[in-house]
Structure 1
Amino acid sequence: MPHVPPAPDQPPVLATLTTCAAERTPDVALFADDGWPAAPGPVTDFATFDRAVTDLAGRLWTAGVRPRATVAIVFANHPRIQLAAFACHRIGAIPALISSAMPDDYLVGTLEALHPTWTIVDSAVAARLSARVREAIDRNSRGRVLRTRAHDGDQPPAVLPELPAPGTPDAQRLRDDEVALITHTSGTTDLPKLVAHSAASIYQHVVPQLGLMTSFGTHRLSAKAISFVHARASSAIITCLLIGMPIGCITDDDPARVADFLHRHGPESLETHPNTYISWEGLASDPRRPMRTISRFSSTFDAIHPRTVRAMLDASDAEDAYFFQAYGQTESGPLAGRPITRADVYNHDTRVIGIPAAGRTVRIVGDDGKPVPFGTAGHIECLSVSQMVGYVGRPTPAVTDSWWRMGDVGRVRPDGTLELLDRLVDKVPGIDSTLALEDLLLARFPALQEALILGSDDGAVDVIITVKTGSTIQDDDVENALRDRGVANIRLHRLLPADLPMTGSKKVRRTSLRSKLDRL
């Protein structure tokens, strides 16, 4: 029987969580689309996951990793990132999950901000590190760099020693309020911020999911195609381990491969990034109906386009299918969310993201920091039980018993629901909501893969579009649609999807895109 989760104010012991889950429900599936080769054997379920965690924890301990040491984990995107994190938890070390998808400048800057005690690199990343990044890893870890295999048969580069044989350390528990996990923000506008969470704060990312998941039943497969360095991946794995829910991890988000995975495994729920869902819209017309079994779609990483939500619900054969749109950030944890059903998908604005969850309060303030009336746009601020401990390597604004500014512009509607209008850094003078205009373009023109609206120093409105393969669209049609909404001085750019600079969570790096446009 699945374990009854701990109370909301009693976080699980991260050092022993995988072992406890393996003892309760050893055969519950936990696997990846590539077969997940890992010493001491492939990971297929809770028991083999725990066995691999124990093996890696023993190797790290033998290498010299000790409690409260910070361990940078720089792997290719794969759930083995979470395996390594739990290996660190086992011996009381602090895992710092670093996306290897960052540009070199960001990766070097992140390592310099972190100054890890140790760094562990997998062979897939080690094989493609630039000399500059390799030097930054070695310098910031003071030579304490280890390597693990991403695939059986990989050989370590001469400069990266392989992990030693495993020892048998005892589990080392940290206090619930100590820093236990470091992740980072997406880095859409600048160098990603390193965010520290305790066992208590990351558990508050989990708590809202526990009741929701158990109310649906925990026996059906949950499929995740997400960034496995993200705090969302940590909370997802913790949730599944606590309630005994099977989880299948998708590391290759190519639509054809995803269709094969979904057709073969028939998951009940599916989660990925909004821009990944966009690339999967064509699966709705796949004759195999690979999404037919999915009753719960979800996304927590960014605003999602209404057109995409409709496509996903159309792809499901489940009578009660819905799309759960959530809102939050790495620093604050999840704040609000709401389900979108077929009954309201044509009338619901996906930027209306629901009422704050228990333990969360949201308010809207003006530039002076004072609350504004209902319906008035301003800065979104929150108080949340899931707020971070603080930033690493940079000053941290007050977060304890203080309102946290999200960096988003929105308003609270009279019914208490929160409406997201824009990221503050994306505001364009004279436009109420660039997000609303982007939604308009995607709804009006099915041929569009993506539409982005950026301001510029010279006052022009830069509109960037990418077009689906095999589709066509006229520039004049796009420009006229925007002019009808009062947008003037439009400068249209066509790019290929591959030309958009993306984060590991498939968000567009808008600052990098701005620089790209300036060079055109």
Structure 2
Amino acid sequence: MKGLAVNNSMRKRGLYLGVLPETAADKNGSMPLTLDHDLDALPQAGRRLTVAELAEHVDDLAGRLWAAGVRPGERIAIHKVANFDVWVLASAAARVGAVPVMLSPALDAATVGALLGRLEQPHLLTDVHKLDVLADVPLADLTNRVIIVAGSRPGAASLTEFAGSPRVQPVLQGLDEPAIITHTSGTTGLPKLIVHTPRTQRARLRPQLFLLSLMRKRETVAISIPFVHSRLYAAMALCLLQGMPVLLMRESAPDKVATFFLKNRPGLIEVLPNSLMEWEGLTDDPRKPFASVKYFSSTFDAIHPGTMSRLLNSSARRAPLFFQIYGQSEVGPAVGRPYFRKTAHRTDGRCVGFALPGSARVRVVSRGGKRPSKKNPGFIEVKWPGIAKAYFGEQERYDANLNGGWWRTGDVGYFTWRGCLHMLDREVDVIPGVTSSLEIEDLVLGRLRELSELVVVSGPNSEPIPVICTHEDKPLDRDRWREAVAEFPHLAAPVQIPFAELPRTGTLKVRRTELSRKLGENMTDPA
């Protein structure tokens, strides 16, 4: 790849992470960013930065990466302890024209090794803690070089030793060249590496910019999303370009979240759905940590109506709003819909949204020749410029998902006569005789507040088995359970497990395939 000098026309057509902080600083340099943690790569930066200071740190780290030998077009895998400096380092890598590859800190060593092999000799940017975890991975064979953010280790360069390196001019990729690589959640196996370009990233901002334009005033935005996830890079771009103060969260324990919110009073929060379920108990906290929140936003999994209702009722703002966007890492935002305080509790949680202005076209394709409906859901497909460019190292797998430019999401559902897309299940999670596992989960969780999680998976004989977790792992009242599921006589007896034993991804999605496999093993174990 040949680096291109920065020019304004390219910036307008693509989203370039490497110059984003600089661009934002020109307009809103004094805008604050507040963190609930310290930065490993920048220990002196503190927990409160301005956008101008953020741009300076990105420029500084870009110079250090250049001095460490990172060059335009090269891939640099970033795999370190969860921290906002992951975003800062990715932006610095992009500034020198490299392609940051975001590897979740939740990945095990074997998975990291497999992905490094697929990346064909990338640089690895990590920390001493992760080097210990990767001790049995042959990094010398799999990587170009290993760079750590601080400290020292034999065989690894350290960014600390390059402090004070000369600054370098930013480099822009072509609009359709790789700009950043993220990965799928890996719920069904080894994660796929998703290639995003400046053009696809810019396209994904359009529908969300429209939604932000409906806000009467700028709000402080709290973001609690994995720092390696593609959604964070869109969310940060929106906040920086729109001049919205940001709260960046690593901590997820409810008591720490409450303290942080009470001190900083966010008006908008973007959080993983499963984190919101974990924080649901805070709606009864007499300190009212959600009182300042006008807008709740979630873009990963559909969230249960009961949870939305309790969150909306915990806000002290006039007419609070919960906005849910349905999409996936490969396609970005596809459809969305608002929920309101008075009606959220009785909303059909499977109705995930309507077309958004400036967003994707969505269709549902028949699976067996019948018109898609609730009883015969079809394949959900998406088409628009925001679709990711490729799966790195797996182009055939990527191409297999495309049909005339339409991307098959892997979900099944149907459209109502009002035009609402109903997403019923992942295709791989469909259980014979069950209209929608997710619908059952929505309804039962709304009836039994003692449940912290409910997942319906396929058993050894394809029977639907409800796996349940309760708050504080208390025993389930079986009479209350039978009453709650009376309309679902096809459900097998519930299996209760501790919440901590649920297999999850880095975005807290339940690994349903893995959970189903473990159930099968336990049920057939002669012991």
| Structure 1 length-normalised TM | 0.92
- 1:496 aligns with 498
Aligned length: 505
Structure 1 CA distance for aligned equivalents of residues 217 and 228 of structure 2: 24
| 1:335–1:384 CA contact under 8 A, matched in 2 | no
Q: 1:207 to 1:56 in 2, by over 3 A?
A: same
Q: CA deviation at 1:101?
A: 0.4
Tell me how far 1:472 sits from its aligned partner. Answer: 4.5
What's the counterpart of residue 162 of structure 1?
158
Measure how far apart 1:25 and its partner are: 1.2
Task: Give the match for residue 320 of structure 1.
Answer: 319
Q: Deviations over 1:446-483 (max 9, x none)?
A: 10000001112323322210000275522354255435
Give the match for residue 381 of structure 1.
381
Q: Contact 2:429 / 2:513 at 8 angstroms: preserved in 1?
A: no
The root-mean-square deviation of aligned C-alpha atoms, in Å, is 2.3
Residues 364-412 of structure 1 show CA distances to partners (whole Å, capped at 9, x for unaligned) of 11225x6835665211111122100010121221648521111001100
Aligned partner of 1:300 in structure 2 is 299
Alignment of 1:93-242 (within 5 A): 93-126=98-131, 128-133=132-137, 135=138, 137-142=139-144, 144-149=145-150, 155-163=151-159, 164-165=162-163, 166-217=165-216, 219-242=218-241
Question: Which SS does the other structure have where 2:270 is aligned?
Answer: strand
CA shift at 1:268, angstroms?
A: 0.2
1:248 Cα shift? 0.7
Write out aligned runs for 1:341-420 (5 A).
341-357=340-356, 358-367=358-367, 372=371, 377-394=377-394, 395=396, 396-397=398-399, 399=402, 401-420=404-423
The residue type equivalent to 2:19 in the other structure is T
CA–CA distance in 2 between the matches of 1:400 and 1:239? 31
CA contact (8 A) 2:431 2:457 kept: yes
C-alpha distance in structure 2 between counterparts of 1:7 and 1:323, whole Å? 35
Q: Tell which deviates more after alignment, 397-406 or 195-204.
A: 397-406
- Tell me the secondary structure at the aligned position of residue 76 of structure 1: coil
After TM superposition, give the deviation of residue 356 of structure 1 in Å: 1.8
Q: What is the TM-score when the length of structure 2 is the normalising length?
A: 0.91
- Give the match for residue 508 of structure 2: 506
Q: Give the Å deviation of 1:236.
A: 0.7
- TM-fit CA distance, 1:29: 1.2
Partner of 1:152: none
- SS of the aligned residue for 2:240 comes to helix
**Separation (CA, whole Å) in 2 of partners of 1:472 and 1:456:** 22
- 1:435: which partner in 2? 438
Name the aligned partner's letter for residue 104 of structure 1: A
Contact 2:41/2:149, CA 8 A, preserved across alignment: no
1:415 Cα deviation from its structure 2 partner: 0.8
Q: Assess, with a 3 A threshold, how the Cα gap between structure 1 residues 105 and 371 changes in structure 2: closer, same or farther.
A: farther
Unmatched segments (≥5 aa) in structure 1:
150-154
Determine if contact 1:27/1:46 at 8 Å carries over to the other structure: yes
Query: Can you give the 5+ residue segments of structure 2 that lack an aligned partner in the other structure?
Result: 1-7, 523-527
Summarize deviations over 1:132-179 as a string: whole Å, max 9, x none.
34x2x432214x110003xxxxx3333433122323211111111111
Distance 1:315 1:474 in 2: 28
**Is the 1:460–1:491 Cα contact (8 Å) retained in structure 2?**
no
Aligned residue in 2 for 1:84: 89
- Cα deviation, residue 314, structure 1: 1.7
Deviating more after overlay: 491-500 vs 244-253: 491-500
In 1, Cα distance between the equivalents of 2:307 and 2:465?
23
* One of 52, 57, 60 as aligned partner of 1:52: 57
Cα separation, partners in 2 of 1:459 and 1:514, compared to 1, 3 Å: closer
2: CA distance between counterparts of 1:355 and 1:201?
21
Q: Displacement, 1:519?
A: 3.6
Task: Tell me if the contact between 2:459 and 2:519 (Cα under 8 Å) persists in the aligned partners.
Answer: no
- Give the C-alpha shift of residue 513 in structure 1: 1.8
Find the aligned partners of 1:411 and 1:148 in 2 and give their Cα distance. 48
User: What residue in structure 1 maps to residue 339 of structure 2?
Assistant: 340
Q: Deviations over 1:197-229 (max 9, x none)?
A: 101101122221222223315632100111111
Question: In structure 1, what is the Cα distance between the partners aligned to 2:327 and 2:179?
Answer: 20
**Do the aligned partners of 1:72 and 1:116 also contact (CA within 8 Å) in 2?**
no
Alpha-carbon separation, structure 2, partners of 1:328 and 1:182: 17
Q: Name the CA distance, whole Å, in 2 between partners of 1:237 and 1:389.
A: 21
The whole-number CA distance in structure 1 between the counterparts of 2:498 and 2:140 is 36
